[in-house]
């Protein structure tokens, strides 16, 4: 009984080792699998993965409209105070007051790109962009206002 277990154990060990060697051997012979990006050389045709997170942006459509309602969910979700939502009150055509954003201030220098704000956003107003060349000469340039000047909220987004 002991002997059978012993032999089984050895055989299983060799089997699992060979399995590992087959995988690395496959990678060794298939150079197409190489994932290294030779960055400054292939800058024009960078092949970034879909989930790559560079910075938070707010997409606008052609009519300079965004989807942000100014609910401050992102501000509350941010663990280190990267986002600051400054709200204002618009007067709707019906004469009602309506809450909207004045500025969405985003401190890139504080951001850890944790993606929590994007997950917290109820109206999908912000998303992660794939840009990553962020170096600037002045720290103040890293504080960005995400909404374009004179932009409006899109119709139908509450």
> What gap in Å lies between CA 87 and CA 99, rounded to an integer?
7
DSSP per-residue codes, 118-134: HHH-TT---EEE-----
- 35 touches other proteins by CB under 8 A: yes
Is residue 43 part of the contact set for other proteins (CB under 8 A)?
no
Is the C-alpha dihedral spanning 131, 133, 139, 141 positive or negative? negative
Task: Name the minimum Å distance from CB 6 to other proteins.
Answer: 8
- Looking at the Cβ atoms of 41 and 44, the one nearer to other proteins is 41
- Interface pick for other proteins out of 11, 12, 21, 48 (rule CB under 8 A): 21
Determine if 28 is a binding residue for other proteins (CB under 8 A). Answer: yes
Q: Which of 11, 12, 23, 143 binds other proteins (CB under 8 A)?
A: 23
* 1 makes contact with other proteins (CB under 8 A): no
**Can you read off the two tokens belonging to residue 68?**
């942000």
Determine if 140 is a binding residue for other proteins (CB under 8 A). Answer: no
Strand partners, 97: 91
Q: Is residue 33 part of the contact set for other proteins (CB under 8 A)?
A: yes
Q: How many residues bind other proteins (CB under 8 A)?
A: 16
- Using CA atoms in the order 128, 134, 136, 140, what is the torsion angle rounded to 10 degrees? 20
Give how far Cα 133 sits from Cα of 44, 53, 128, 130, Å.
13, 12, 14, 10
Q: Which is nearer to other proteins, 24 or 135 (CB)?
A: 24
Q: Please give the residue ranges that form the binding site for other proteins (CB under 8 A).
A: 2, 10, 17, 20-21, 23-25, 27-28, 31, 33-36, 38
């Amino acid at each position: 009984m002991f002997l059978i277990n012993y032999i089984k154990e050895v055989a299983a060990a060799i089997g699992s080792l060979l399995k590992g060697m087959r995988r690395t051997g496959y990678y060794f012979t298939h150079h197409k699998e190489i994932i290294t990006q030779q960055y400054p050389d292939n800058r024009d045709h960078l092949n970034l993965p879909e989930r790559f997170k560079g910075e938070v942006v707010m997409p606008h459509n052609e009519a300079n409209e965004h989807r942000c309602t100014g609910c401050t969910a992102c501000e509350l979700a941010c663990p280190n105070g990267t986002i600051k939502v400054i709200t204002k009150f618009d007067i709707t055509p019906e004469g009602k007051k309506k809450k909207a954003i004045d500025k969405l201030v985003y401190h890139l220098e504080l951001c850890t790109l944790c993606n929590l704000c994007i997950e917290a956003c109820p109206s999908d107003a912000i998303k992660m962009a794939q840009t990553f060349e962020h170096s600037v000469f002045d720290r103040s340039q890293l504080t960005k206002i995400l909404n374009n000047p004179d932009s409006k909220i899109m119709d139908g987004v509450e």
